[in-house]
Amino acid sequence: MSKQPVTPEAPHALRRRSVSVVLAVMAVAAVFHFGTGAAEAAPRSANATTAVLQNTPAATIPEIGQAGPDAEDNRISIDLDLEALVDDSDPTATGEDAKPSKSILILVSLTLLSLAPSLLICMTSFTRIVVVLSIARNAIGLQSIPPNQVVTGLALFLSLFVMAPTIKDINDNALQPYLSGEIQQAEALREAEDPIKDFMLSNTRSDELNLMISASGEERPEELTDLSLMTVIPAFILSELKSAFIIGVMVLLPFLVIDLVVSAGLMSLGMMMLPPTFVSLPFKLLLFVMVDGWALIAQSLIANFK
């Protein structure tokens, strides 16, 4: 068998293997050496830390609840700048001449926006108007025409029209003097309460008012304006609902007559399978358009408020 010739690269491969073995041995020795040193240093570090803690005086660690000589310096305090609640644009404005700051105005505006739906429903003519318009729509036989958004929008603007004198009175006597710094917040609220209370009392029936006075346990004052809003507002809402239903009955009667006539005609013709509402709807719409129903209802609603 012939021997393979030795290539020139064989001595170089042997030399590389020898160098690799030497480096591996050195790496193992280094790991063993440094690992032993770290293990010996760990107990020494722990002993040094324990000695430092033992030599620390107990007085340097404050206890919770103890008051030392520097306790007043360590107290947490919060400084409230109450003078910042007034407008700093006028440095000479103090006391009654001080205008409300922008933060107070923003707070008041957000409060009014959050309470606006309740105020609109409970303390204005909105309740009566929206109920009457809804009854008129149902009397015609159109459940969703006009849409709820249209009915609500019409009721809203009619309410603003009715409440315009009251709103103007509140703006002139309460809002503008408060914004100009002539009156304080408490006085502005009293000035705003009087016009709205006068409006509610002038449109509230005596029966509902007496009911709420007796339910609240208050004595009937000589002047109705001395009643609290907690008594006047529920009485006003009950009175508005009663007025709305009375007007609604008057609106329903003509359309009820049309339904009865159409039903009797269909019965006489033997067309019992034909729905009377389907036949009476064109006649209802014709009657409502001929008398200009929406304008007539709006005019009647506006004229009923005092």
180 neighbors 99 (Cβ within 8 angstroms): yes
Of residues 210 and 39, the one with the higher pLDDT is 210
Cut 0.75: pTM above it? no
**Is 27 inside a domain boundary?**
no
Q: pLDDT digit string (tens) for 209-237?
A: 888 888 887 778 777 777 888 888 888 99
**Is 85 inside a domain boundary?**
no
260: pLDDT confidence band, cut at 50, 70 and 90? confident
Two tokens, residue 106:
């923003």
**Is 62 inside a domain boundary?**
no
Region 116-126: mean pLDDT is 79
pLDDT given for residue 25 in this prediction: 66
Give me the count of residues in the chain. Answer: 306
- Work out the number of other CB atoms within 10 angstroms of the CB of residue 60: 6
Two tokens, residue 124:
């204005």
Give the count of domains, the chain. 1
pLDDT given for residue 245 in this prediction: 93
Which domain range does residue 200 map to? 99-304
What are residue 100's phi and psi, to 5 degrees? -65, 145
